[in-house]
């Protein structure tokens, strides 16, 4: 029999498909600018690509500068950078909570900057989910009513709201706390309520702006696990903001690293750490423990191939450090498998050993 969490996930996906016409959502922006200060639009009309010095001389702040990104359907796309780098401004521009100064934002090929205010409100209510660092729970409402609140705004009946809210509460593992109030919950539980509430409308596109940064390290790790579990079940298109490089490497399919409003590098975690675009990115990633954050999937060659004699089968999510004893024993290659036992690709011992050698070199340089 299907468990309740899986049933809730199936229900959520059904709702999402209905809201997007059966498509899976993709998102992109092209030449996106957000400049704060008087005269920003005029300056861009006369000088389409001003540098930081020009903006500063004009008394303007270039929060987002000529950014172009593509977020593919079902991807966890992480945007990271130091405080003030522009990462949170980007996510607000992508949802048009903040109006961009210039550029294009495309949702399934449609330019959001051409959408009316009414269309945007409807889009946010039905197709977008948002979770922020501040949980934003309504203190006078129970868990059940907090989760059901966006459905109330949609005009759903009380019965419909509560059925849906209970499904989402079950999905995030808070069953039994429906009648609790926010002050009766731990920080991690409050964040789960925020996640359940954002999922209640069945969004295909999910924005998360440093959702776990206010939590202590142990609860943060648990919430990351929960997030990955939910994504495996729901397959949302996700833009995730963080300043924590370890969190980014743990969660991301791809990462964009920002500095002073610009995107410096975009790539898979393995590409970012092994081939940094410049010294800034290299410094950002120098403390990343490669053996723990890189998985077999990131190093494999895609496509099924016959397993060499003496080879082994291994899960795609296996961290690289788990291979060390096998490599030391002389295993020549690994067939990389998904959870259903299908082969996704092949990892040759030489590729893993090269990364191990580079990691050893990085640690010696820091010593």
Answer whether residue 20 shows pLDDT above 50: no
State the pTM of this model. Answer: 0.81
pLDDT recorded at residue 364? 63
Quick one: angle between helices 158-171 and 143-153, nearest 10? 130
**Burial class (CB within 10 angstroms; exposed 0-12, middle 13-18, buried 19+) of 134:** exposed
Closest among 17, 2, 35 to 236, alpha carbons compared: 17
Residue 232: CB atoms within 10 Å: 11
Quick: pLDDT tens for 153-168: 888 899 999 999 999 9
Distance CA 185, CA 83 (A): 29
Quick: pLDDT tens for 206-259: 999 988 887 788 888 888 888 888 888 888 999 999 998 889 988 999 999 999
C-alpha R_g of the chain: 22
Instruction: Give whichever of 73-87, 132-146, 191-205 has the largest mean pLDDT.
Output: 73-87
Distance CA 149, CA 201 (A): 10
Distance CA 127, CA 142 (A): 25
Quick: pLDDT tens for 293-330: 788 888 888 887 777 777 889 998 888 888 889 888 99
Instruction: Grade residue 285 by pLDDT with cuts at 50, 70 and 90.
Output: confident
pLDDT recorded at residue 17? 30
pLDDT recorded at residue 4? 42
Averaged pLDDT score across all residues of the chain: 86
Distance CA 296, CA 281 (A): 23
Distance CA 111, CA 27 (A): 10
Cα angle: 326, vertex 331, 335; to 5 degrees: 95
Tokens 């051409």 map to which residue? 114
Parallel/antiparallel/unpaired status of strands 301-302 and 343-348: antiparallel
Distance CA 124, CA 130 (A): 9
pLDDT recorded at residue 202? 84
Instruction: Grade residue 267 by pLDDT with cuts at 50, 70 and 90.
Output: very high
**Residues in a beta bridge with 254:** 77
All domains of the chain, ordered by start, with CATH? Answer: 4-30+66-285 (3.40.50.300), 291-366 (3.90.1280.20)
Answer whether residue 18 shows pLDDT above 60: no
Residue 161 makes CB contacts below 8 A (sequence gap 6+) with 148, 151, 152
Mean pLDDT value of segment 96-110: 92
Answer whether residue 77 shows pLDDT above 90: yes
Residue 337 makes CB contacts below 8 A (sequence gap 6+) with 313, 314, 315, 316, 343, 344
CA distances from 324 to 116, 173, 291, 327 (A): 56, 35, 9, 5
pLDDT recorded at residue 264? 96
Closest among 220, 226, 225 to 242, alpha carbons compared: 220
Residue 303: CB atoms within 10 Å: 9
User: Which of 19-23, 96-100, 148-152 has the lowest average pLDDT?
Assistant: 19-23
């Amino acid at each position: 029999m299907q468990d309740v969490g899986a049933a809730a996930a199936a229900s959520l996906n059904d709702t999402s498909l209905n809201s997007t016409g059966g498509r899976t959502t993709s998102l992109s922006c092209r030449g996106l600018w957000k400049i704060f200060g008087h005269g920003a639009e005029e300056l861009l009309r006369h000088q389409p690509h001003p540098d930081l010095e020009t903006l500063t001389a004009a008394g303007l702040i270039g929060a987002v500068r000529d950014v172009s990104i593509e977020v593919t359907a079902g991807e966890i796309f992480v945007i990271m950078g130091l405080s003030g780098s522009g990462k949170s401004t980007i996510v607000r521009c992508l949802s048009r909570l903040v109006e961009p100064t210039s550029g294009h934002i495309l949702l399934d090929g449609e330019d959001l900057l051409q959408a009316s205010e009414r269309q945007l409100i409807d889009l946010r209510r039905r197709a977008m989910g948002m979770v922020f660092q501040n949980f934003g729970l309504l203190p006078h409402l129970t868990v059940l009513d907090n989760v059901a609140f966006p459905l109330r705004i949609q005009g759903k009946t009380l019965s419909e709201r509560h059925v849906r809210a209970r499904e989402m509460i079950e999905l995030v593992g808070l069953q039994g706390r429906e009648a609790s109030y926010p002050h009766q919950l731990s920080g991690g539980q409050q964040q789960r309520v925020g996640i359940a509430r954002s999922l209640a409308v069945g969004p295909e596109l999910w924005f998360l702006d440093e959702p776990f940064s206010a939590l202590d390290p142990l609860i943060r790790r648990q919430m990351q696990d929960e997030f990955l579990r939910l994504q495996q079940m729901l397959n949302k298109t996700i833009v995730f903001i963080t300043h924590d490089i370890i969190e980014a490497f743990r969660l991301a399919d791809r990462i964009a690293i920002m500095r002073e409003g610009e995107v410096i590098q975009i790539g898979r975690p393995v590409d970012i750490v092994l081939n940094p675009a410049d010294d800034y990115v290299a410094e950002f990633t120098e403390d990343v423990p490669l053996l723990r954050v890189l998985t077999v999937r990131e190093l494999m060659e895609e496509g099924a191939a016959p397993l060499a004699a003496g080879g082994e089968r291994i899960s795609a999510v296996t961290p690289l450090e788990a291979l060390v004893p096998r490599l030391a024993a002389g295993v020549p290659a690994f067939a990389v498998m998904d959870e259903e036992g299908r082969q996704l690709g092949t990892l040759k011992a030489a590729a893993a050993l090269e990364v191990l050698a580079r990691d050893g070199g990085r640690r010696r340089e820091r010593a």
